[in-house]
A and B are shown apart, each in its own frame.
Chain A
Amino acid sequence: MSSTTITYREAVREGLREALRADPRTFLMGEDVGHYGGCFAVSKGLLAEFGGERIRDTPLSEATFVGAGIGAALGGVRPIVEIMTSNFSLLALDQIVNTAATLCHMSGGQFPVPLVIRIATGVGRQLAAQHSHSFEGWYAHVPGMRIVTPATVDDARGMLAPALASPDPVLIFEAISLYNMEGELTPGAASGDLDHARVMRPGRSLTMVTYSASLWRGLEAATTLASEGIEAEVIDLRTLRPLDTATILASVQRTHRLLVVDEGWRSGGISAEILARVAEQGFYDLDAPPARVCTEEVPIPYPRHLEEAALPNAARIVLAARELAGHAR
């Protein structure tokens, strides 16, 4: 069978289309998802295909349309709520953290919240400091939710179905910088699982943990490193909560070196959590202090060169990896 080339945007849309076709209880709601076609054109065409009951434009009311998603999920339907950007999700933070993530536990298990929230995240369009941040690591701090970060077109399409099948809230963070990326859709690929990280490139020199758009920066760096004889084993986390620690530890057992690449900030970020877990559980497998390349601790600036400099770009990853690999065994 031949593969199909598709953009990440089209892959997300295909996942949405499949979900809407598969279950009449499923509907999409959010700002400009209908008539506008989605801020990033993800849901373009879906209004015409599925109608206004199932593709619902909402007012600019993040707290309430997310809360309404929670209520609707409790009420027996399967809403997919879209939040335009990671930054805007903060307007709904109360509903996400204080309600969606707590109801199941506070009610003694009576009210799990089977809600899916799709959030566009990260840099990509020179949108400056109120439209470019990456808060998925923050959300991964909170028990009671699942945080997934598709990086490939297969995951962009395939993670939605298992997210909808989950009885608990799932936040899907779609990378803004990947929407235009083309990839090969694996024909007949099983529904993406939400539990496991994936080794995207094997290597013996060091373990490079990435997720979301950083996967591609990491793979680019790995190609450069390979030309220098450094073989990075690149892992795509795919899910930030629950974190697949076993896959990371297994890789570190093979490579004895750990580098984490994270589009979030360094302080208190998911990269810190990964380093801590490896220190706790894989300390004696390490031949060198673990390292990380994160976004610089600055609100993302507008001009392209500063935005690029703030990111964990391939050049910075290569430098960090060289230093890590240079440590005497």
Chain B
Amino acid sequence: MSAATVITRERALYLLGEMLRIRQFEDRCAQLYGEGRIRGFLHLYNGEEAVAVGAMQALEPGDAVVSTYRDHGHALARGLGMNPVMAELYGRRTGCSRGRGGSMHLFDAARRFYGGNGIVGGGLPLAVGLALAEKYRGTQALCACFFGEGAVAEGAFHESMNLAALWHLPVLFLCENNLYAMGTALALSEAQTEVHRKAAAYGMPGESVDGMDVLAVEAATRRAAARARAGEGPMLLEFRTYRFRGHSMFDAQLYRDKAEVEEWQKHGPIIGFTARMKTAGLLTEDDYQRLLATAIAEVEASVKFSEASPWEPVEDLLRYVCAEPEPA
């Protein structure tokens, strides 16, 4: 479908560059985790980059974004600087949440990025409310809500789909179906494994999309966004994707075969897009290498930035528990 999509060379370079930034960032994160420089839970997005990058193209600066604990890709694709994101993983004061959230809790008010949420399904009600605020105020903005297929089993999914549909709220329910909820395969946890079909129960359109194809993701999200902005209500998009690494850094991956992982890797979002764009004559190997080098340089700069960043002083431990006035 989207193979026929006509895009410019400039656009191809941009999309590939964004996916490479995320990939390089996270590969470096895994390394830093091994070295003990970043701690806590670290959920990597490798393999799912096309979803974040594709979906974000359909969003406007005034839209709200709700993410999950696997949030690095969403944050970077939404435009959070790599420095504050990396510094957050380091737990430094310069982090996008002043070091208080870590990997799972990236926030940015300026980009209306309402966070990585550590509770599976916990972000869905929040997204419904953010969309309610837009509708109540009569704006054209919407809320894009990312969640994994594991969240579909939570009661909050049902409640949120129902309320958003009932009140015709501008929510994009963006399900990243990577087939495993931690180590539990979809078929072991859901009676209906075609996630997009669940939308029908709420009188809402649902669509299954190739989550490894950044152009398909973008196109589908644009359609859903156009509906939402036109007041036609929410939509459920199921992006079929795969995570190449474990659930977190503690995952021995006993629940899936290496062969399965390798098969998916052959159809990875970066590899696939690069090949297609080369075939279409829009990209060369030199382009790829240049984008890769740029991404690596940005990542290294973010590591340096984070290493050099100060910690929050312990005296400030109790700050931000409640709102505080801006310092004079």
Which residues on the B side are within 8 Å of A229 (C-beta)?
none
Query: Which residues, 97 to 118 on B, are CB-close (under 8 Å) to A?
Result: 97-101, 105, 107-109, 114-115, 117-118
Please tell me which one of the listed residues B98, B126, B128, B322 contacts residue A99 in the complex, with CB atoms under 8 A apart.
Answer: B126
Nearest to B88 among chain A residues (CB) is A108
Which residues on the B side are within 8 Å of A98 (C-beta)?
118-119, 122
Cβ contact within 8 Å between B114 and A111: yes
Cβ contact within 8 Å between B133 and A72: yes
A71-B322 in contact given A94-B119, A106-B105 (Cβ < 8 Å): no
* A contacts with B, residue count (CB < 8 A): 41
Cβ contact within 8 Å between B323 and A112: yes
Cβ contact within 8 Å between B107 and A75: no
Which residues on the B side are within 8 Å of A144 (C-beta)?
321-322
Q: Is B56 an interface residue (CB 8 A)?
A: no
Please tell me which one of the listed residues A65, A75, A99, A110 contacts residue B134 in the complex, with CB atoms under 8 A apart.
Answer: A75
Q: How far is the CA of A107 from the CA of B115 in the complex (A)?
A: 8
B-contact bits for A40-79, CB 8 A (1 contact / 0 none): 0000000000000100001101011111111111111101
Q: How far is the CA of A121 from the CA of B117 in the complex (A)?
A: 30
Query: Which residues, 123 to 141 on B, are CB-close (under 8 Å) to A?
Result: 124-134, 136-137
Cβ contact within 8 Å between B136 and A68: no
Cβ contact within 8 Å between B100 and A108: yes
* B contacts with A, residue count (CB < 8 A): 46
Cβ contact within 8 Å between B125 and A74: no
Cβ contact within 8 Å between A108 and B130: no
Q: Is B155 an interface residue (CB 8 A)?
A: yes
Q: Is A277 an interface residue (CB 8 A)?
A: no
Nearest to B106 among chain A residues (CB) is A107
A111-B115 in contact given A64-B156, A67-B125, A168-B323 (Cβ < 8 Å): yes
Q: How far is the CA of A105 from the CA of B316 in the complex (A)?
A: 11
B-contact bits for A66-98, CB 8 A (1 contact / 0 none): 111111111111010000000000000011001
Q: Is B51 an interface residue (CB 8 A)?
A: no
Which residues on the A side are within 8 Å of B321 (C-beta)?
104-105, 143-144
A75-B323 in contact given A110-B97, A110-B108, A111-B107 (Cβ < 8 Å): no
Q: Is B252 an interface residue (CB 8 A)?
A: no
Q: How far is the CA of A144 from the CA of B321 in the complex (A)?
A: 5
Nearest to A71 among chain B residues (CB) is B129
Cβ contact within 8 Å between B129 and A109: no
Q: Is B59 an interface residue (CB 8 A)?
A: no
Q: Is A103 an interface residue (CB 8 A)?
A: yes
Cβ contact within 8 Å between A68 and B163: yes
Q: Is A27 an interface residue (CB 8 A)?
A: yes
- Chain B min CB distance to A131 (Å): 21
Query: Which residues, 34 to 83 on B, are CB-close (under 8 Å) to A?
Result: 64, 66
Which residues on the B side are within 8 Å of A105 (C-beta)?
100, 320-321
Which residues on the A side are within 8 Å of B162 (C-beta)?
59, 61, 64
Q: Is B95 an interface residue (CB 8 A)?
A: yes
Cβ contact within 8 Å between B323 and A68: no
Cβ contact within 8 Å between A58 and B163: yes
Q: List 12 A-B contacts (CB under 8 A).
A: A59-B162, A59-B163, A63-B156, A64-B124, A67-B122, A68-B129, A71-B133, A73-B133, A109-B319, A111-B114, A112-B323, A114-B323
B interface vs A, CB < 8 Å?
A: 64, 66, 95-101, 105, 107-109, 114-115, 117-119, 122, 124-134, 136-137, 143, 155-156, 159-160, 162-163, 166, 319-324
Closest 5 CB pairs of A and B: A71-B129, A67-B125, A75-B133, A108-B98, A112-B323
A65-B163, A106-B115 given; 17 more Cβ-contact pairs under 8 Å: A27-B136, A58-B163, A63-B155, A63-B159, A64-B124, A74-B129, A74-B133, A75-B130, A79-B129, A95-B122, A99-B126, A104-B321, A104-B322, A107-B97, A107-B105, A107-B320, A111-B114
